[in-house]
Structure 1
């Protein structure tokens, strides 16, 4: 069975209160419940901004203009403002979304607006996948702190497909991703080599997430040093 990564609103609220009431630190609480620091920080941010509603799982894709994305990124990278403050100012769904834009910016990748037409099309159109692909996509999504949009773009599948697969994996483990429809079922048994390849891709996704965090922190240090001269 996979490691549990789904949390109810009540469980999120308990962890948030533990931190806000200074009963524990973010690091200690995330270690206890098995999530990243960014995940708990986003829960706190969304709770402070929207209350209980902010702790419920989102099923929709939020669209942002190119101007909003660039202004938010520059506010952090060029002016040293905090991720949470900028996310709140520009009504960004979570600081992890903002981190993704910053990662592109620091790598020299052009930041573009999400096209309403293409976003809607991609969200509603899925594609046929194998069991091994679904497992890889789920592991990638979890490694990137449940960034469904990032997984959608990376694997060219629909938002609802990713969301559904993650939910099934969280509830039933790997068995939940097997497709039993039709008389000619796909081969749904992983070889040891398959598992090693999937584990390697999972580690690569986690490494990518870590490198993004390091790049952001490095950029912020450069900004502080520049201002302190």
Structure 2
């Protein structure tokens, strides 16, 4: 069951939300005068916009979200410039703290724990070698961090790719080693030939991406020219 976070009743919540939406007062003034947090006010506005006055009623239980909604919300946040609040608005999520928990679970590869009975684990991918992880991280970066493309290309999970890219950016190839237990990877090194092969692959992947992007831009410009010709008076 959810806990009551303020002493304001339904009518008071409604009056505050309407006052903000009608621009009769600001969020900051309500925070000061009503002794309420900014996050609570924004949450009420989001709930009202999504479900009307029903959304402002006290919840009598946990709101249940499907794994599909969780995945879409997290990927939307990770792959776009949308912030936490904006993503919550888009997917009608009760609070940014809920979304933060999903992001943490998603990027750690632990999967989502259902808010209803039972739980459903996300795809955890497959085992990989240190050299594979380097190649996958470089491939993803070369393709403007297209995690989905790397996921399909190398048959690994989105979460794995996300973690590898983050580690690679922060610490380079060494950060991708498995240092758990007696893993032999901690002592593994790359030969000059292997480093060269990886660099050649990285450059090739980047060139392929740029060529595809340039080709798309050319096609769009061609379509625009055709459209302009069609609009010109005879």
Pairwise TM-score range, normalised by the shorter structure: 0.3 to 0.5
Q: TM-score, normalised by structure 1?
A: 0.47
Q: Which has the higher contact order (CA 8 A, sep 6+)?
A: 1
- Please tell me whether Structure 1 or Structure 2 has the larger radius of gyration of its CA atoms: 2
